[in-house]
Amino acid sequence: MQPSLADNKPNILADIKRDHAQFFSLYRQYQESNGDEEKQTLVWQLIHDLTVHSLAEEEVLYPEFTKHMGSRCRDHALSEHKTLKDILSDIDAMTVTSPGFNDKLKILMMALEHHIKEEEDQMLVEFAGLVQREDLAHLAEKFQKSKLHVPTRPHPWAPDKPMTGNIITNTLTAPLDKLRDAVRHGMGPAHSNAPAGHNQS
């Protein structure tokens, strides 16, 4: 039977769609904001959330794509992630007052919209028809755990091929990212998983 999103059990499909909706919500808030400080905070949160989401997908979901659907789907998704990381890295090096910032952010959101549409309308639909409901719950737990240890800033030089390379990269860069987040968001390292804040770094 096709897995359903209707029950309240953990479900990686629901988690992923919730994250996607949050990215567009942050962008809407950015467009509606009139303050540079608030805009910058929203952009930093988007950088953090999109980086973490993408890397957790690469660690937990995309290997499952390979297992159930072959490597072509995964390779296509990874190549789109590489594009997103490249743009995100440029945005991470800018501020909201940098020349061309709005255009760069618009390019990111267009690429993200394209990727999310493919992910939700094609990849996740096919995947949902191939896995058991209990597997979706188990994967949801792994997805949330992965989010706690992956890097929080884009690293476009990181290998875009699965999976060992990513894990090594994550081990090397995640602690440094969390320290940089702590400075950016004006909080101690103990709180560095939380993205929102005000300080520049």
Q: Which residues bind Fe ion (CB under 5 A)?
A: 57, 119
Comparison of 71 and 201: residue with beta carbon closer to Fe ion:
71
Comparison of 56 and 96: residue with beta carbon closer to Fe ion:
56
Indicate left, alpha or beta for 94 from its phi (over 0: left) and psi (-120 to 50: alpha): beta
Comparison of 21 and 176: residue with beta carbon closer to Fe ion:
21
Least distance from C-beta 61 to Fe ion, angstroms?
8
Least distance from C-beta 53 to Fe ion, angstroms?
6
CA proximity to 82, closest of 166, 173, 172, 159: 159
Determine phi and psi for 110, rounding to 5 degrees.
-70, -45
Comparison of 83 and 193: residue with beta carbon closer to Fe ion:
83
Least distance from C-beta 60 to Fe ion, angstroms?
11
Comparison of 30 and 143: residue with beta carbon closer to Fe ion:
143
Pairwise CA distance, residues 20 & 118, whole Å: 12
Least distance from C-beta 35 to Fe ion, angstroms?
29
What is the b/e burial string over 42-58, where b = at least 16 CB atoms within 10 angstroms of the residue's CB? bbbbbbbbbbbbbbbbb
Q: Which residue's C-beta sits nearest to Fe ion?
A: 57
Q: How far is CA 150 from CA 147, 155, 180, in A?
A: 6, 11, 14
Least distance from C-beta 141 to Fe ion, angstroms?
17
